[in-house]
Structure 1
Amino acid sequence: MSEELEKVCETLDKLTLDALTLMEEQIQLKLSLENAMVAGESNLAKTRYILGQNSVSVLQLPSEDAEMTANVKVVDKSEKYLDCKAVEIQKCGGEDVPNPLKWFGVLVPQNLHNAQKMFTQAINYVVDSVNVQRKLEETCVKLKQLKEYKKELLG
């Protein structure tokens, strides 16, 4: 009985360390997401300053009647959940999807390209964050179950 209790305690220790590591990774991803969003917004502001406030505004967006297609979509991969890959990004539409930067003209400033890259990176951080969050939740469930089992062994 004590041998089984030792195994449970070792597993609890390992899972606790895993949970702390996942929490640290989640914090780093959220900080990276925040930095990417701030950089993207800053680049948009610089572009608006360079081109003028009316050149980068809602007026350049397609009308409500226009057909819009996403470049990427986030897909839940439940069958891969055991591989710890819960969510992933898939490309949509192939080469047919127009580049949204062309809404603002042919020669757009580099800042607008940088903003697009930063917002694309932000999507990747969000997906990674969701995956880490799911791993963390799974680890917490395992911890709770093992703690209950340990109580049964002791009680």
Structure 2
Amino acid sequence: MDLFKNIVEVKGLLDKIYLQTLELIEEDVSIKINIEKLTNEGTLNLAKTRYNQGSNTVSITQLPTDDDREFFALKTVERTSDINSNCTQFALECHAVDKDSNHIDPINWFGVLIPQSLKIAREKYEKAIELSIESANVRQKIAKNCELIRKLKRIKRQFEKIEE
């Protein structure tokens, strides 16, 4: 309450945060629509590959079994804390293909001559993953704004009690 001189400042800041939150919600919805579009396109390209190559060439039989060597993902999610905004942020950490560290490229499970539609499907899914990370970061900002709105509403109520 010491930060604000009067209730008008609090209301002005609340309005700005509400507007920013609505913009973030709009951005999140847009990102989720793009994620859905990309995953649908990826699925369609995967279906094209199965149709062109035959259902047995792109199937569960190419996936590793329990007997195979353990491997690690080429892309992992890294969580960081932003000290300035006191908010958790997510980032996609990419690892290079390296057999020594067991980072392998799963597309090679499907043979040496990889169909273009399978490569396109992979690109679509990778982009969807990147957008998922972006969406998670936007959701973190929305949550932070909601927390700030609750605090400002409390301050606003205190000003209203003083004015009575």
Q: Distance in 2 between matches of 1:131 and 1:153?
A: 33
Using the size of structure 2 for normalisation, the TM-score is 0.87
Q: Give the drift of 1:69.
A: 1.4
Identity within the alignment, %:
35
1:111 alignment partner in structure 2: 117
1:1-150 equivalent positions in 2, closer than 5 A? 3-66=5-68, 67-79=70-82, 82=85, 86-92=89-95, 94-96=96-98, 97-150=103-156
Q: Distance in 2 between matches of 1:5 and 1:47?
A: 62
Q: Give the drift of 1:64.
A: 1.6
* Aligned residues of 1:74 and 1:88 also touching (Cα < 8 A): yes
Q: Distance in 2 between matches of 1:143 and 1:8?
A: 10
Q: Distance in 2 between matches of 1:151 and 1:82?
A: 25
Question: Between Structure 1 and Structure 2, how many residues are aligned?
Answer: 154
Structure 2: stretches of 5+ with no match in the other structure: none
For residue 85 of structure 2, give the secondary structure of its aligned residue in structure 1.
Answer: helix
Q: Which moved more, 1:21-30 or 1:3-12?
A: 3-12
Q: Give the drift of 1:102.
A: 1.2
Q: Distance in 2 between matches of 1:128 and 1:83?
A: 18
* Aligned residues of 1:74 and 1:89 also touching (Cα < 8 A): yes
For residue 40 of structure 1, give the secondary structure of its aligned residue in structure 2.
Answer: helix
**Per-residue Cα deviation, 1:120-154 (whole angstroms, up to 9, x for no partner):** 11110110010000000000110111011101101
For residue 86 of structure 1, give the secondary structure of its aligned residue in structure 2.
Answer: strand
Q: Distance in 1 between matches of 2:138 and 2:48?
A: 33
* Aligned residues of 1:84 and 1:131 also touching (Cα < 8 A): no
RMSD over aligned Cα, in angstroms? Answer: 1.9
- Give the structure with the larger helix fraction: 1
Q: Distance in 1 between matches of 2:83 and 2:116?
A: 38
Structure 1: stretches of 5+ with no match in the other structure: none
Q: Distance in 1 between matches of 2:90 and 2:150?
A: 24
